[in-house]
C-alpha cells in the first residue's frame, strides 16, 4: 500500500498558537471528510478558501497537482539539504581517493598518474548521488516523524488507498462552527464525514 | 492571434544578419586563399551548416519522440518544431555545396578525399568503402531528403488536421503518429552515419563509437535552447498566450537534463579513450588539450558547469530572464562544441596539405636529410616524424625520451618491457598491422635498467598530466602521414609539436562569429516564414487541451 503523503499547512501564527495551547491537553479533535476524487477535492479546497475556512491539513494517497498553491504551501526546502549532502559526498569521494592514491597507498594503474582525475569522476559522481539521496531521505524522515519504529498516524486507512481527505481541527470550535463545517462538507460533495480524537 | 505575422522589422533583422554572415563568408574565402586552401571558409561553412541542419533534424526527432510517447505538453508550440524541421530543405542546398566541393576538390576538408593520401595510407584505404565521396553524396542527399520528406509529411498532416472540422476519429492524429514512429528508428541509424561522414571523418584516422551520441546530445541541447529563446520572443510579441511558466519549466528541465546527458556522453567518450590509451584514439584529445586548451576547457565550462549550476534551482527555470540567459549561453556553447570538433582536425589536414606541397621544395629536403641523418647517428638521436612523399622518412617514428614529464608514468611499463629495443626498420613497420605496434616502442635514453625506471616512476607523486600514448608515432607508420606532424619526438622538434594560436582555428574570430550570426539569421528567417504559413497552434490536435492545462 502506498504510503501516506502528508501535505502540511504552513499555517498562520494564530493557529500555531492555538495548537500549542492545546498541546498541553495532548488531544485534538479532528473533523475530516473523505472525497472520492482529486478533482472534487481540489474544488472543495477552493470552496474552503472562498469561505475562509481554516483547513488543518489535506491528505491524499498520491501527490495532487495544483494542491500546494491552493493550500498556500511554500516550496519545499528539502532540495537544499540535497544540495548540501551532494556537495559533501562529492568532496568526500574525491578527497578520499586523492588521499588514498597520492598519500596513503600510491599504486600505478595502467600506466596512469597517481592522481588520475578522470578515473575518480565516476566514483565521485556515485558518492554525490548516494550522499544526497540518503541524506534527503533521512532529513525527510526526521522532519516528518517517519521512519523505522515511528508510530503511523493516519486518520483513516483508506487515505493510503483511494480516498482524499480534508481535515479541520475542531478542538476549540463551537457547535455552530462545527455545523458550518459539516454543511460545507455536504455542499462540496463529500462521501463520508468522520470525527476522531488524535494525539496532538 | 491565430497565425504568426512575420513583421517587417523581424524580416529586416534576420535578413541583415544573413547579410553579415554572407559578408563574413566572403571575407574568409579571400582571407586565406592560396596557401590556406580556403580552409577557414570551408570549415566555417561546414561547421554552421552541420550545426543548423542538425538542429532542424533534432527538432523533428523531438517531435517524433514526444508524439510516440503520447506526450501532450508541447503540442501548443509544436508548429515551431515543425518549422525547424523544414530548414532541412535549405540545409540540403548547403550540404550540396559541400558535395560539389568534394567532387571538384574545391575544398580539402576531408583527408579521405585526397586520392594520393588514400593510396599510401592503409587506414584510409581500409575506411574508403565508407569514407568516399559517393557514400557522402548518397548519405547526405538520401538521408537528409528522407528526413525532410518525413518531417514535412508530419507537418502537412498537422496542417490538414487544422482545416478539417469534422474529423472525430483522430485519423490525422493517428497518421501523424505513424510517421512519427517510423521516423525514430530511421533517424537513429541514419543520423549516426551522417555525423560520422560530416564531422567525425575530418579527423579521418580517428574514430569513436560514442561520437554520434555525443554530437546528437549537443544538437539536442542547442535545439532546446533555441526553442526557448524563440518562444520567449514569440510570447513577448503576444503569441502563444497558453504557453506559460509550466511549459518553460519543462523546457528548462530538458535543457538541464540534456546538458548533463551531453556531459555524460562527453565524459564517457573521453574516459574510455583516456583509460585504454590507444594512440590512434588518444590523438584526438591530445591534440585538443595541448593546442586548444581554452577551447577544450571552456567547452566543458559553458556546456556543463554553467547550465548545471544556473538551472539546478527550481525558480531559474521558471523565470524568463535566467532561462533566456542560460539558453543563450549553452546555444553558443554547443556551437563552440562543434567548432572544437571540426577546426583542429581541419587545421591538421591543412598543415598536411601545405607540407605535401612543400615536399618538393625546401621542406622536403629538410625532411629527407633529417631522416638519413638519424639513421647514421643511431638510436640516441631524434627522429623526426616528417613524411613528405619519402617512405624512408615515413619509416622512422622513433621516440627518444628526454625524460620529460610525460614519460614517467605512461611510459614506465613500456620502458620496462622493451628495455631499449626501439629501432624499427621501414619494411617491418610497413607490413605491420595497424595498432599492433602500439606499445612496441620504448625509449632508449630513459630505459636502461627497468627497475630503476620503475623506482623513479614510483617516486613521482605529482604526475597529474593527462597522458595519451606518446608512442603514437610508432603505432603505425602508415598513420604517420598525419600523425607525424603532431607527435614529433621530444627534443628540438618540440616547437613543432605545439601549434601556435591561429585566429579562426584556436578560437573563433570575428569572421566565425559573423558567419554564425548569418546562419542563425538565415535559419530564423526560414523558420519564421514557414511559421507564418499555418496556424500557430494546431487547433484540432487531441492533446491541445492537455497542453493548455499543463502544470508541473
Mean pLDDT, to the nearest integer, of B10-23?
A: 96
A116 CA: distance to closest CA in chain B (Å) = 6
Lowest mean pLDDT among A99-103, B290-294, B439-443: B439-443
pLDDT top residue among B48 and B1: B48
Cα angle vertex B126, ends B125, B129, to 5°? 85
Mean pLDDT, to the nearest integer, of A19-44?
A: 82
Chain B: residue nearest A80 by CA? B313
Mean pLDDT, to the nearest integer, of B127-144?
A: 94
Chain A: residue nearest B415 by CA? A111
C-alpha cell at B9: 522589422
Q: Choose among B314, B410, B457: nearest Cβ to A75.
A: B314
Residue B253 has pLDDT above 50, yes or no: yes
Task: Look at residue B190 and give its three-state secondary structure.
Answer: helix
Residues pairing with A60 in the sheet: A5
Contacts 24+ apart (CB under 8 A), B435-438: B435/B278, B435/B280, B435/B475, B435/B476, B437/B474, B437/B475, B437/B476, B438/B278, B438/B279, B438/B280, B438/B469, B438/B471, B438/B474, B438/B475
B244 CA: distance to closest CA in chain A (Å) = 15
**Among A85, A78, A105, A74, residue whose Cα is nearest residue A9:** A74
pLDDT top residue among B384 and B292: B292
Considering only CB atoms, which residues of chain A are within 8 Å of chain B?
65-66, 75, 79, 83, 102-103, 106, 108, 110-115, 117-119, 121-122
For residue B514, the surrounding DSSP H or E stretch is helix B510-531
pLDDT top residue among B525 and A150: B525
B94 CA: distance to closest CA in chain A (Å) = 39
C-alpha cell at B122: 592503409
The rounded radius of gyration (Å) of the Cα atoms in chain B is 26
Q: Express each pLDDT in B451-469 by its tens digit.
A: 444 444 444 444 444 444 4
Lowest mean pLDDT among B32-41, B188-197, B378-387, B495-504: B378-387
**Is the Cβ–Cβ distance between B220 and B316 less than 8 Å?**
no
Which ipTM did the prediction report?
0.72
Q: What is the pLDDT of residue B359?
A: 57
pLDDT top residue among B351 and B190: B190
Q: What is the pLDDT of residue B410?
A: 41
| Chain centroid offset of residue A69 CA | 15
Mean pLDDT, to the nearest integer, of B442-452?
A: 39
Sheet harboring A192-199: ordered strands across? A5-7, A57-60, A164-169, A27-35, A192-199
Q: Which residues contact B230 (CB under 8 A, 6 or more apart)?
A: B80, B524, B527
Rounded to whole angstroms, what are the CA distances from B459 to A113, B494, B548? 11, 26, 66
Contacts of A65 in chain B (CB under 8 A): 551-552
B464–A79: do the CB atoms touch at under 8 Å? Answer: no
Q: What is the pLDDT of residue B552?
A: 65
Neighbour-count burial of B189, counting CB atoms closer than 10 A to its CB (0-12 exposed, 13-18 middle, 19+ buried): exposed
**Is the Cβ–Cβ distance between B225 and B257 less than 8 Å?**
no
Band of pLDDT at residue B388, cut at 50, 70 and 90: very low
Neighbour-count burial of B182, counting CB atoms closer than 10 A to its CB (0-12 exposed, 13-18 middle, 19+ buried): middle
Domains defined along chain A, listed by start = 5-75+152-199 (3.30.70), 78-144 (no CATH)
Lowest mean pLDDT among B74-83, B229-238, B411-420: B411-420
Residue B333 has pLDDT above 90, yes or no: yes
Q: Express each pLDDT in B341-380 by its tens digit.
A: 999 999 988 888 888 776 554 443 344 443 443 343 434 4
Residue B401 has pLDDT above 60, yes or no: no
pLDDT top residue among B140 and A9: B140
The whole-angstrom separation of Cα B552 and Cα B549 is: 10
Residues pairing with A168 in the sheet: A31
The whole-angstrom separation of Cα A193 and Cα A166 is: 10
Band of pLDDT at residue B223, cut at 50, 70 and 90: very high
pLDDT top residue among B48 and B420: B48
Q: What is the pLDDT of residue A152?
A: 78
Task: Look at residue B493 and give its three-state secondary structure.
Answer: helix
Chain A: residue nearest B312 by CA? A83
Q: Which residues contact B327 (CB under 8 A, 6 or more apart)?
A: B224, B225, B226, B228, B229, B255
Place of cell 584516422: B205
Q: Express each pLDDT in A83-140 by its tens digit.
A: 999 999 999 999 999 999 999 999 888 888 999 999 999 999 999 999 999 999 999 9
Rounded to whole angstroms, what are the CA distances from A171 to A6, B115, B321, B372? 20, 92, 48, 102
Band of pLDDT at residue A150, cut at 50, 70 and 90: confident
B410–A66: do the CB atoms touch at under 8 Å? Answer: no
The whole-angstrom separation of Cα B110 and Cα B133 is: 10
Amino acid at each position: 500500500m502506498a504510503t501516506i503523503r502528508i501535505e502540511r499547512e504552513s499555517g498562520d501564527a494564530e493557529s500555531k498558537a492555538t495548537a500549542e495551547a492545546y498541546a498541553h491537553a495532548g488531544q485534538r479533535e479532528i473533523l475530516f471528510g473523505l472525497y472520492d476524487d482529486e478533482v472534487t477535492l481540489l474544488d472543495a479546497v477552493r470552496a474552503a478558501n472562498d469561505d475562509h475556512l481554516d483547513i488543518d491539513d489535506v491528505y491524499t494517497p498520491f501527490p495532487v497537482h495544483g494542491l500546494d498553491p491552493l493550500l498556500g504551501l511554500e516550496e519545499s526546502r528539502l532540495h537544499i539539504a540535497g544540495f548540501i549532502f551532494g556537495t559533501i559526498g562529492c568532496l568526500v569521494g574525491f578527497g578520499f581517493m586523492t588521499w588514498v592514491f597520492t598519500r596513503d597507498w600510491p599504486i600505478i594503474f595502467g600506466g596512469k598518474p597517481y592522481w588520475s582525475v578522470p578515473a575518480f569522476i565516476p566514483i565521485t559522481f556515485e558518492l554525490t548521488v548516494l550522499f544526497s539521496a540518503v541524506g534527503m531521505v533521512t532529513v525527510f524522515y526526521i522532519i516528518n516523524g517517519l521512519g523505522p519504529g515511528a508510530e503511523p498516524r493516519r486518520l483513516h486507512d483508506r487515505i493510503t488507498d483511494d480516498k482524499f481527505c480534508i481535515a479541520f481541527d475542531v478542538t476549540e470550535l463551537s457547535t455552530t462552527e462545527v455545523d458550518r463545517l459539516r454543511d460545507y462538507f455536504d455542499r462540496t460533495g463529500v462521501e463520508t464525514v468522520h470525527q476522531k480524537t488524535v494525539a496532538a | 492571434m491565430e497565425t504568426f505575422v512575420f513583421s517587417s522589422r523581424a524580416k529586416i533583422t534576420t535578413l541583415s544578419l544573413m547579410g553579415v554572415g554572407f559578408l563574413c563568408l566572403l571575407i574568409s574565402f579571400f582571407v586565406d586563399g592560396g596557401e590556406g586552401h580556403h580552409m577557414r571558409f570551408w570549415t566555417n561553412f561546414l561547421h554552421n551548416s552541420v550545426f543548423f541542419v542538425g538542429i532542424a533534424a533534432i527538432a523533428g526527432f523531438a517531435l517524433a519522440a514526444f508524439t510516440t510517447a503520447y506526450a501532450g505538453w508541447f503540442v501548443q508550440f509544436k508548429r515551431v518544431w515543425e518549422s525547424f524541421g523544414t530548414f532541412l530543405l535549405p540545409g540540403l542546398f548547403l550540404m550540396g555545396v559541400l558535395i560539389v566541393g568534394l567532387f571538384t576538390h574545391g575544398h580539402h576538408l576531408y583527408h579521405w578525399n585526397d586520392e594520393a593520401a588514400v593510396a599510401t595510407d592503409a587506414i584510409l584505404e581500409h575506411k574508403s568503402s565508407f569514407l568516399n565521396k559517393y557514400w557522402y553524396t548518397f548519405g547526405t542527399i538520401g538521408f537528409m531528403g528522407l528526413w525532410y520528406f518525413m518531417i514535412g509529411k508530419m507537418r502537412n498532416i498537422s496542417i490538414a488536421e487544422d482545416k478539417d472540422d469534422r474529423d472525430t476519429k483522430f485519423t490525422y492524429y493517428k497518421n501523424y503518429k505513424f510517421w512519427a514512429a517510423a521516423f525514430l528508428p530511421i533517424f537513429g541509424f541514419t543520423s549516426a552515419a551522417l555525423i560520422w561522414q560530416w564531422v567525425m571523418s575530418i579527423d579521418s584516422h580517428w574514430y569513436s563509437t560514442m561520437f554520434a551520441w555525443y554530437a546528437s546530445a549537443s544538437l539536442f541541447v542547442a535545439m532546446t535552447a533555441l526553442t526557448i529563446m524563440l518562444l520567449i520572443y514569440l510570447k513577448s510579441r503576444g503569441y502563444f498566450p497558453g504557453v506559460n511558466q509550466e511549459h518553460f519549466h519543462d523546457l528548462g528541465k530538458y535543457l538541464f537534463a540534456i546538458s548533463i546527458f551531453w556531459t555524460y556522453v562527453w565524459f564517457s567518450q573521453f574516459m574510455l579513450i583516456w583509460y585504454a590509451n590507444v594512440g590512434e584514439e588518444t590523438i584526438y584529445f591530445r591534440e585538443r588539450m595541448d593546442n586548444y586548451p581554452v577551447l577544450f576547457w571552456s567547452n566543458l565550462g559553458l556546456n556543463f558547469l554553467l547550465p548545471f549550476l544556473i538551472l539546478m534551482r527550481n525558480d531559474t527555470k521558471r523565470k524568463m530572464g535566467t532561462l533566456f540567459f542560460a539558453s543563450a549561453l549553452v546555444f553558443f556553447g554547443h556551437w563552440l562544441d562543434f567548432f572544437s570538433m571540426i577546426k583542429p582536425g581541419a587545421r591538421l589536414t591543412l598543415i598536411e596539405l601545405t607540407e605535401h606541397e612543400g615536399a618538393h621544395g625546401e621542406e622536403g629536403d629538410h625532411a629527407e636529410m633529417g631522416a638519413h641523418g638519424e639513421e647514421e647517428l643511431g638510436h640516441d638521436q631524434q627522429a623526426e616524424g616528417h613524411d613528405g612523399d619519402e617512405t624512408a622518412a615515413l619509416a622512422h617514428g622513433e621516440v627518444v625520451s628526454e625524460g620529460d614529464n610525460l614519460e614517467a608514468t605512461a611510459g614506465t611499463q613500456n620502458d620496462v618491457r622493451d628495455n631499449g629495443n626501439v629501432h624499427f626498420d621501414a619494411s617491418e613497420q610497413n607490413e605491420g598491422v595497424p595498432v599492433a605496434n602500439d606499445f612496441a616502442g620504448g625509449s632508449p635514453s630513459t630505459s636502461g635498467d627497468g627497475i630503476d625506471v620503475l623506482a623513479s616512476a614510483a617516486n613521482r607523486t605529482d604526475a597529474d598530466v593527462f597522458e595519451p600514448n606518446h608512442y603514437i608515432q610508432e603505432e603505425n607508420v602508415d598513420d604517420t602521414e598525419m600523425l607525424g606532424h603532431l607527435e614529433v619526438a621530444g627534443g628540438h622538434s618540440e616547437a613543432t609539436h605545439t601549434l601556435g594560436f591561429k585566429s579562426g582555428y584556436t578560437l573563433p574570430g570575428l569572421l566565425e562569429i559573423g558567419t554564425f550570426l548569418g546562419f542563425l539569421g538565415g535559419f530564423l528567417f526560414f523558420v519564421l516564414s514557414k511559421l507564418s504559413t499555418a496556424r500557430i497552434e494546431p487547433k484540432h490536435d487531441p492533446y491541445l487541451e492537455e497542453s493548455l492545462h499543463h502544470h508541473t
